[in-house]
Every structure is written in structure tokens, then in C-alpha cells.
């Protein structure tokens, strides 16, 4: 993997540390998830694995879309530091990012 690829993966891992922690907390606080709840959507509980699988298969754009889905759907409130990492990923990928 190139240095850029390593740096990009490191950014995904950094963002996922916070996002998966927030996601786990949301599930713990909710208890059993009602079917009509935002957290009942596919790809949230195991979203970190999904994101890294996309990254590891050179699908960073799809990984970033899934990462944003994980933030937007519940919705999660992420820190400024995490937003900076997300912006850095977007810049590396050449995609717009506004929050």
C-alpha cells in the first residue's frame, strides 16, 4: 500500500475510533432496538468493519460514504477533531464535505 493509502487508512481508523464508540454507546443506551428506530438500519452496528473492508479493497470513496451514513443516520454528534479527520479524508478523496 502506498504512503497515501497508509495515511488514508490511518485517517479512517482514527475517525472510526470515535464513531464506533459513539455508536456502541447509542446501542447500549437504547437497549433492544425497535424496528422503526434509526439504529435498526443495516450496516450501523458493524459499520466499522464494513468501512475498513471497503478501504482494504481500494474502495475508499464507498468507505467514506458509509462512514458518513454511520454519522448521519442515528444521528451522532462527533467532535471537532473527528470532523477535521473527516474533512481530511474528503480532501484526499477529492470529494466535497461540509458540516
What would the pLDDT profile of 35-62 be if each residue is shown by its tens digit? 888 888 889 999 999 999 999 999 999 9
Residue 99 falls inside a structural domain: no
% of the chain beyond a pLDDT of 70: 95
Residue 43 falls inside a structural domain: yes
Expressed as residue numbers, the domain containing 24 is 3-93
Is the pLDDT at 71 greater than 90, yes or no?
Answer: yes
Closest to 85 in 3D by CA, of 38, 46, 51: 51
pTM over 0.95: no
Residue 7 falls inside a structural domain: yes
How many structural domains is the chain composed of? 1
pLDDT at position 99: 83
Residue 23 falls inside a structural domain: yes
Bond preceding residue 5 cis, omega within 30 of 0: no
Residue 98 falls inside a structural domain: no
Residue 26 falls inside a structural domain: yes
Lookup: cell for 74: 442515528
pLDDT at position 1: 53
Residue 78 falls inside a structural domain: yes
How many angstroms separate the Cα of 14 from the Cα of each of 7, 35, 70, 85?
A: 10, 30, 15, 7
Distance CA 23, CA 97 (A): 21
Amino acid at each position: 500500500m502506498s504512503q497515501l493509502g497508509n495515511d488514508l487508512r490511518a485517517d479512517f481508523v482514527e475517525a472510526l475510533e470515535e464513531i464506533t464508540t459513539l455508536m456502541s454507546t447509542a446501542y447500549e443506551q437504547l437497549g433492544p432496538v425497535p424496528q422503526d428506530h434509526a439504529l435498526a438500519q443495516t450496516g450501523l452496528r458493524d459499520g466499522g468493519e464494513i468501512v475498513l473492508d471497503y478501504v482494504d479493497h481500494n474502495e475508499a470513496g464507498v468507505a467514506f460514504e458509509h462512514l458518513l451514513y454511520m454519522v448521519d443516520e442515528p444521528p451522532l454528534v462527533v467532535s471537532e477533531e473527528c470532523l477535521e479527520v473527516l474533512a481530511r479524508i474528503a480532501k484526499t478523496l477529492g470529494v466535497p464535505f461540509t458540516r
